[in-house]
Structure 1
Amino acid sequence: MQALAIQVLASWVALVSALWIADLAVAAEVYKWVDEQGKVHYGDRPLPGAQSVRLKDVPEVTPIAGEREEKRERLLQVFKEQRQEKREQAEAQKKQKEERERNCNLAKDQLRNYEQAGYIYDIDKKGNRVIYDEEKQAAAVQQARDAVKQWCGKT
């Protein structure tokens, strides 16, 4: 919101400046007169007794203002791209964290099941249970602990 306000203000200042400079270039004819109290006045319309005054070099409208606007637009685009990149990084980190938490919970559940089970088994190709011996069961429990350590960062 603040960036938009700054952008609008900058555009407004640029427009007013450009109009003012253009007005000076168009209204290069300036008149000078002195009123009854002896006060000197200047204006763009001749009044009775006014003298035409030649102005020193009137600034011309240059392409510099256009270049500045171009640079400003490029800078704003870079800022926009950086904000988008940060949003994408934050989103990727959030997804990674969620996946890590999900995998951690699954690993904890698996370890709890293995530790509480009287025995662990696999299903063979015929659909029969193949019960692990003590060594294979200990290896499965250790593998589950390693998974918890990997995904949760603890044992």
Structure 2
Amino acid sequence: MKSLCGGLLLSVLLLASATALAADLYRWVDEDGKVHFGDRPPMEAKAENIEGELRPINSADAPPPQQTASRQQHNPEQEYEQRQRQRELRQQQRLTRACNAARRQLRLLQGRVAFVDDSGKEVKMSERERQQRAEQLQREIQRVCG
């Protein structure tokens, strides 16, 4: 009875580990331009599922050479679509970074505002200048962020 429970436990553990190994893998770039990887996509960034792009590490898991050669034949339409998706992703990332930067600047302007000039002297912004800059940032956020 004891060996039956042990064998059952071992089977369950092996099944659970195989399921964990079959998880998806995501890649995303944060607002600072750093690339991250994870098994779950983040809520605040657009992530790309890269599970299909990974190659087996073990030669026993690798596809036969004939299958690999047939995959390497180029399909111009697929290559074009892939390049388009990459361009769109980069454009979306640029827009997201610009949107986040404009929102940060607007948050800074909502408090008391002072800048440091080239000589290191603090220069205060008048309420009128602050309001004009805030309106300009609001328009920028509407244009970039939608």
Q: TM-score, normalised by structure 1?
A: 0.44
Max Rg structure? 1
Q: Which has the higher helix share?
A: 1
